[in-house]
Amino acid sequence: MNNTTKEQHASPSDSEIEESTVNVREIINKYIFHWPVFVLGITICLIAAFFYLRYTVEVYAVNSTLLIKDQKKGGGVAGDDLLNELNLFGSSKVVDNEIEILKSKTLMRKVVNRLNLMIGYSVEGRVIQSDIYETKPVEIGVIEIDSAWYGRTLNLSFPSATTYVIEDPLNRVKMSGLLDSLQRNKFGVFKITRNPNFNKWRKLNKNLINLSIRNPLSVADQYLGDLTVTLASKQSTVLSLKLQTTVPQRGKDVLNTLVQVYNEAALADKNKTTQSTMEFIDVRLKLISGELTDVEKDVEGFKSTRGITNMSNDATLFLDNVKANDVRLNEVNLKLSVIQDIQRYVNSTSSEEKLPSTLGIEDPVLLGQITQLSELQAQRDKLFATVGANHPNIAIINKQIESARDGIKSNVDNIFLSLNNTKKALQGNESQNPKLY
C-alpha cells in the first residue's frame, strides 16, 4: 500500500513540470512576437532622455566662506579687557545674528542694484533661450527704471558700433541712443556700457538680445530663496554660504558682492557706534570740566574767607605761566596728532579709509583740499560701480585725486614742521622754568 501511494503522488508532479515548461515557452514567444514594439519604446525613451539632458537648464551650487570675528571666542589681548567691558568700540558679534543679517532683504537688494540683476540677458536658441550673462556684449547700469516695464521683455540691437536700439515687441515702441553715455527716456535713467567683447559679439551674432525686466524686490527674494547660510561647525565662527544658480559666474558675483555689502554695513555700524561713543565722552568731559571749575572757585572762596592768602604774586604768576605753557603744549600735540591722521589718510589707497577729524586745524586751504579729495574719491567710487575700472572718466578722476593728494601732502608737511618747531620752543620754556620745592 505504501508503494502504491508514493507512485500516485509522483505522477502529478511530473505533469505539473511539463505544463509549467510549456507555459513559459508560450509567454516568451508572445513577447518575442512583439519585439518591434519594445525596440520602438526603448528608442523613444533614449531620444527623450537625450533631449532632456541636452536642453534642461543645469543648476550649479556656488560655495563661499566668511569668517566672523567674534571677540568672545578669543583672539583678543589682555589690554583690551577694559575696553571690552566698557563696550566703547563695538561688541562681540553673535554668529546667529550675522547669519540673519546675511540673509536679510536689505543686503540682497543692494546686491541686486549694484549688479543690475533686475535685467536678464538672453538670446533665442534652436529650442530654448540661452542665458548670456557671462558673454553679454554690454552692461546696462540702471540708475532709475520705470516700474511699468517690470515683467516685460525687450529686444536690444546695435545698428552701429556706437548706437543701440531697444524695442518693445508688443507695441512696437523703439528707444535709441548712444552707447557709453547716460540716457534718459521712457525706459528710465540708465547707461549702456560696451564690454571688451562687444565688437567680436557684433560680428559673430546677428540675433537680438532679449532683455527681461523684473522687479528688483522679487529678484532679491528669489536669490534669498536660493541662498543658504550655515555655520561650518559649532566650535568655529566660519559661515558657509551656498547659492543655487544656473550661471556659475553670476553666483560668484552675487556671493562676492554680498560679502562686500555686508562688510560695508558692518563698518558703517561700527563708525556710527564709535561716533555716538565719542559724542557721549565729549559731553561727559564738558560736565567734568565745569564741575572742576566750580570746585576751584569754591577753594578760592574758602581761602579768601579764611585768610589763607600766603601765596606770593610771583608764585601765582609762575603757576599761571606753567599752566598756560602746558595748555599750549597740549594744543600743539593734539594738532600734531590730527596732522598725522591726515597724512595717513592721504597716503592710503584704500577706498574704506574714512575722512579723518580736522579738529583744531584752522588752515582754510588745507580744509578745502581735504574736502575736495573726499568728494573726488566719493565720485570715483560711484562712477566705478556703474562703468567699471577701465572707463576714461575713472582715469581722469584718478589724476585729479593724485593732484589733490600732492597738494595736501605739501601743505601738511609745512604745517607739521611749523607745529614741531612750536612744540620744541614750548618744551624749552618748560625746562627753563624754575622748580618749586
Show the cell assigned to 123: 538670446
Query: Which of 54-58, 221-225, 334-338, 428-432: highest mean pLDDT?
Result: 221-225
Greatest extent of the chain over all pairs of C-alpha atoms, in Å: 153
Asked, for residue 38, whether it belongs to a domain, the answer is yes
More confident position, 9 or 345: 345
Asked, for residue 88, whether it belongs to a domain, the answer is no
| Contact between 243 and 259 (Cβ < 8 Å) | no
User: Of 152, 119, 154, whose CA–CA distance to 133 is shortest?
Assistant: 119
What pLDDT, on the 0 to 100 scale, is given for residue 131? 87
Asked, for residue 272, whether it belongs to a domain, the answer is no
| Contact between 105 and 274 (Cβ < 8 Å) | no
Report the range of poorest mean pLDDT among 175-179, 208-212, 340-344.
340-344
Asked, for residue 229, whether it belongs to a domain, the answer is no
What pLDDT, on the 0 to 100 scale, is given for residue 71? 52
Asked, for residue 395, whether it belongs to a domain, the answer is yes
| Contact between 102 and 258 (Cβ < 8 Å) | yes
Burial (0-12, 13-18, 19+ Cβ within 10 Å), 131 = middle
Report the range of poorest mean pLDDT among 71-75, 337-341, 369-373.
71-75
What pLDDT, on the 0 to 100 scale, is given for residue 285? 83
Asked, for residue 411, whether it belongs to a domain, the answer is yes
Residues paired with 129 in a beta bridge: 124
d(CA 250, CA 139): 13
Mean pLDDT of 209-234: 91
What pLDDT, on the 0 to 100 scale, is given for residue 359? 67
d(CA 270, CA 29): 82
| Contact between 377 and 407 (Cβ < 8 Å) | no
More confident position, 224 or 311: 224
Task: Kindly tell me the sign of the dihedral angle through the C-alpha atoms of 13, 16, 18, 24.
Answer: negative
pLDDT digits (tens, 9 = 90+) for 232-254: 887 778 899 999 998 999 999 99
pLDDT at 93 over 60: no
User: Of 248, 276, 266, 233, whose CA–CA distance to 107 is shortest?
Assistant: 266
d(CA 246, CA 121): 13
User: Of 153, 142, 151, 136, whose CA–CA distance to 117 is shortest?
Assistant: 142
| Contact between 407 and 363 (Cβ < 8 Å) | no
Q: Inter-axis angle of helices 392-432 and 313-347, to 10 degrees?
A: 160
Q: For the chain, what is the mean pLDDT? A: 78
d(CA 350, CA 215): 34
Show the cell assigned to 129: 533661450
Asked, for residue 299, whether it belongs to a domain, the answer is no
The type of residue at 15 is S
Place of cell 511699468: 148
Place of cell 561700527: 270
Identify the helix (H) or strand (E) that includes residue 314: helix 313-347
| Contact between 103 and 255 (Cβ < 8 Å) | no
Show the cell assigned to 79: 589690554
What pLDDT, on the 0 to 100 scale, is given for residue 323? 78
Ramachandran category for residue 91: left, alpha or beta (phi over 0 → left; psi -120 to 50 → alpha): beta
What pLDDT, on the 0 to 100 scale, is given for residue 124? 85
Task: Kindly tell me the sign of the dihedral angle through the C-alpha atoms of 125, 131, 137, 141.
Answer: positive
pLDDT digits (tens, 9 = 90+) for 143-167: 888 888 899 999 999 999 999 999 9
Select from 33, 55, 77 the last residue of a domain: 55
**Buried b / exposed e across 353-380, counting CB within 10 Å, b at 16+?**
eeebebeebeeeebeebbebbeebbeeb
Number of domains, the chain: 2
| Contact between 266 and 273 (Cβ < 8 Å) | no
More confident position, 307 or 325: 325
Show the cell assigned to 203: 560680428
| Contact between 215 and 133 (Cβ < 8 Å) | no
User: Of 257, 213, 219, 276, whose CA–CA distance to 87 is shortest?
Assistant: 276
pLDDT digits (tens, 9 = 90+) for 96-128: 888 888 999 999 999 999 999 999 999 987 767
Query: Which of 209-213, 326-330, 430-434: highest mean pLDDT?
Result: 209-213
What pLDDT, on the 0 to 100 scale, is given for residue 394? 78
Name the residue range of residue 338's domain: 312-432
pLDDT at 301 over 60: yes
Asked, for residue 358, whether it belongs to a domain, the answer is yes
The type of residue at 310 is N
User: Of 36, 54, 94, 86, whose CA–CA distance to 70 is shortest?
Assistant: 94
pLDDT digits (tens, 9 = 90+) for 265-287: 888 888 887 888 888 788 878 77
Q: How far is CA 419 from the centre of its chain?
A: 40
More confident position, 178 or 423: 178
Show the cell assigned to 352: 574704506
